[in-house]
Amino acid sequence: MRLRDDITDMPWLASDWQKIRVRSSMERRLLLEAAVWLGLARVAIAIISFRKLARFLGLVQRNSATAPDQAPVKQPHEDASALSAQIGWAVRSVALRIPQQSTCLTQTLAGAAMLRWRGLPCSLSLGIVKDTNGIAAHAWLRFGDVVLTGGNGHNRFTVISDFVTSRPGRAAQPIDSP
């Protein structure tokens, strides 16, 4: 039995499959890559400390007095901006359609990994806000001034920690390095 026959019994899957088929090959590759990175990020969050994950992704915590090698993310080149926007789209699209919920942190780490893989700089922010249920936390990823993931309502959160790529374009450090 062909996949096409199987998906006609599930209209929601048929619709998603048809949407994927009309995408360019680059967009389909980004969607597949996003699915892989989201799965890896979910596992990594469960078994590895955030400090080690940040180091693996080449992220360093930005202090109020930014060190020279931790320059803020500058306004990127137009081609890089378009690619980063597509990466953000791919991560958000896949996150909505995978069986288990992808948290904002999972999406942010997956997007940061995809940008890092391409040698593109990014900024990852962690924030909190007090609401009716207590304290809520949120993570979002920026490329230049553009929020790629976690953009919904990020303005209401107070940033408690901000991470930037230390040296874009270099290979990621091993997780178990000192």
Give the number of other CB atoms < 10 A from CB of residue 85. Answer: 13
Lookup: tokens for 120:
């593109």
Q: Are 177 and 55 in contact (CB under 8 A)?
A: yes
Please state, in angstroms and rounded to a whole number, the distance separating the CA atoms of residues 38 and 107: 6
pLDDT higher than threshold 60 for residue 13? no
Please tell me which residue, 3 or 105, carries the higher pLDDT value: 105
Fill in the DSSP letter of residue 19.
H
The number of residues in the chain equals 178
User: What is the rounded average pLDDT for all residues in the chain?
Assistant: 80
Q: How confident is the model at residue 90 (pLDDT cuts 50, 70, 90)?
A: very high
What is the predicted pLDDT for the residue at 131? Answer: 85
Please tell me which residue, 62 or 146, carries the higher pLDDT value: 146
What is the predicted pLDDT for the residue at 153? Answer: 87
Residue ranges of domains in the chain: 3-165
